[in-house]
Structure 1
Amino acid sequence: MIQSVLRSALGKMASIPREIIQKHNKLLVDLCDYIDPKDPGYTNFITSLRNADLPPGRLSRVENEPAKLFQLMEQKGKLKVGDYGVLEEALQNSGNDEALSLVRRLGSEITKEMAGQGLTTSSAAEETVQERDISPNKRVITVAETTQELDGSPSKRIKPEPRDASDIPKKRYYDRENKRGYLLILNFTKDREGTELDVSNLKKFFEGTLNFDVDDPREDRHNDFSLSELNKVLEQTRELLNFRAKKFYCFFCAILSHGDEKGILCDDGLYKTIDEIRTTFANDKMRNFVGKPRVFLIQACRGTTTQQGHDMADDWPTDIADVAGKISVPTDADVLMAYATTPGNKAWRRENIGSWFIHVTISVLEERHLHEHVEEMFVTVKDEIAKDEKWKTASGGRMMPCTWSTLTQRLMI
Structure 2
Amino acid sequence: MSARGKVRSQKTAIHEALCADYSLILNKVFEKGLITPREYRNLKSINKESVEGHVIELVDKLLDKGEDTCEAFLSLLQTDDDIVKTYPALRTLQLDDRGTLHAPVQDTSVGHSDVRPPPSKKLKKDERYELNSQPSGLCVIINNKNFSKPRRGSDKDAESLGEVFTWLGFRALMCKDQTKDQMERALKCFASQSDLAQLQEFNVEEWTGSKFTALQEAPRHGDALICCILSHGRKGVVLGIDDQPLSIKQIIGTFLPPANTTLTGKPKVFLIQACQGGQAQHGVFEELQADDSPSPTIPKEADVLVAVATVEDYLAFRHITDGSWFIQSVCEQLKDGCPRGEDITTILQRVNWEVGKKEGCSAPGAGKQMPEVRFTLRKKLVLSPHPNCFVAK
TM-score band (shorter)? 0.5 to 0.7
Deviation at 1:266, TM superposition (A): 2.3
Unaligned 5+ residue runs, structure 2?
A: 1-20, 35-47, 59-75, 88-120, 195-217, 283-298, 384-393
Aligned partner of 1:385 in structure 2 is 355
| Change in CA separation of 1:229 and 1:409 when aligned onto 2, cut-off 3 Å | same
Aligned partner of 2:127 in structure 1 is 172
2:270, 2:306 within 8 Å by CA — same for their partners in 1?
yes
Aligned partner of 1:259 in structure 2 is 233
SS of the equivalent of 1:217 reads strand
| Alpha-carbon distance between aligned partners in 2 of 1:259 and 1:32, rounded to the nearest angstrom | 41
Deviation at 1:377, TM superposition (A): 0.3
Deviation at 1:305, TM superposition (A): 2.7
SS of the equivalent of 1:102 reads helix
Residue correspondence of structure 1 range 5-24 to structure 2 within 5 A:
none
1:333, 1:407 within 8 Å by CA — same for their partners in 2?
yes
1:301, 1:346 within 8 Å by CA — same for their partners in 2?
yes
| Change in CA separation of 1:32 and 1:338 when aligned onto 2, cut-off 3 Å | same
Deviation at 1:284, TM superposition (A): 2.8
Aligned partner of 1:353 in structure 2 is 322
Deviation at 1:332, TM superposition (A): 0.6
| Alpha-carbon distance between aligned partners in 2 of 1:58 and 1:32, rounded to the nearest angstrom | 15
Matched to 2:175, the amino acid is: P
Residue correspondence of structure 1 range 6-405 to structure 2 within 5 A:
30-34=24-28, 57-59=49-51, 62-63=54-55, 96=77, 102=82, 172-180=127-135, 181-189=137-145, 190=147, 191=149, 192-207=151-166, 209-218=167-176, 224-240=177-193, 248-261=222-235, 263-305=237-279, 332-371=301-340, 372-388=342-358, 391-395=359-363, 396-405=366-375
| Alpha-carbon distance between aligned partners in 2 of 1:295 and 1:410, rounded to the nearest angstrom | 12
Q: Deviations for 1:222-248, whole angstroms, at most 9, x for unmatched residues?
A: xx323332222011100119xx99861
| Alpha-carbon distance between aligned partners in 2 of 1:104 and 1:171, rounded to the nearest angstrom | 43
Matched to 1:199, the amino acid is: A
Of the two, which has the highest radius of gyration?
Answer: 1
| Alpha-carbon distance between aligned partners in 2 of 1:335 and 1:238, rounded to the nearest angstrom | 15
SS of the equivalent of 1:283 reads coil
SS of the equivalent of 1:285 reads coil
| Change in CA separation of 1:358 and 1:292 when aligned onto 2, cut-off 3 Å | same
Q: Deviations for 1:44-85, whole angstroms, at most 9, x for unmatched residues?
A: xxxxxxxxxxxx84557644578xxxxxxxxxxxxxxxxxxx
2:22, 2:51 within 8 Å by CA — same for their partners in 1?
no
What is the number of equivalent residue pairs in this alignment? 252
1:283, 1:290 within 8 Å by CA — same for their partners in 2?
yes
Aligned partner of 2:110 in structure 1 is none
Matched to 1:375, the amino acid is: T
| Change in CA separation of 1:402 and 1:61 when aligned onto 2, cut-off 3 Å | farther
Normalised TM-score (structure 1): 0.53
| Alpha-carbon distance between aligned partners in 2 of 1:350 and 1:246, rounded to the nearest angstrom | 34
| Change in CA separation of 1:353 and 1:286 when aligned onto 2, cut-off 3 Å | same
| Alpha-carbon distance between aligned partners in 1 of 2:355 and 2:373, rounded to the nearest angstrom | 13
| Change in CA separation of 1:229 and 1:98 when aligned onto 2, cut-off 3 Å | same
2:140, 2:174 within 8 Å by CA — same for their partners in 1?
yes
2:22, 2:55 within 8 Å by CA — same for their partners in 1?
no
Aligned partner of 1:123 in structure 2 is none
| Alpha-carbon distance between aligned partners in 2 of 1:379 and 1:266, rounded to the nearest angstrom | 29
CA RMSD of aligned residues (A): 3.6
| Change in CA separation of 1:399 and 1:229 when aligned onto 2, cut-off 3 Å | same
Unaligned 5+ residue runs, structure 1?
A: 1-26, 40-55, 67-94, 108-164, 219-223, 309-329
1:235, 1:280 within 8 Å by CA — same for their partners in 2?
yes
| Alpha-carbon distance between aligned partners in 2 of 1:262 and 1:375, rounded to the nearest angstrom | 21
1:340, 1:400 within 8 Å by CA — same for their partners in 2?
yes
Greater relative CO (CA pairs within 8 A, separation 6+): 2
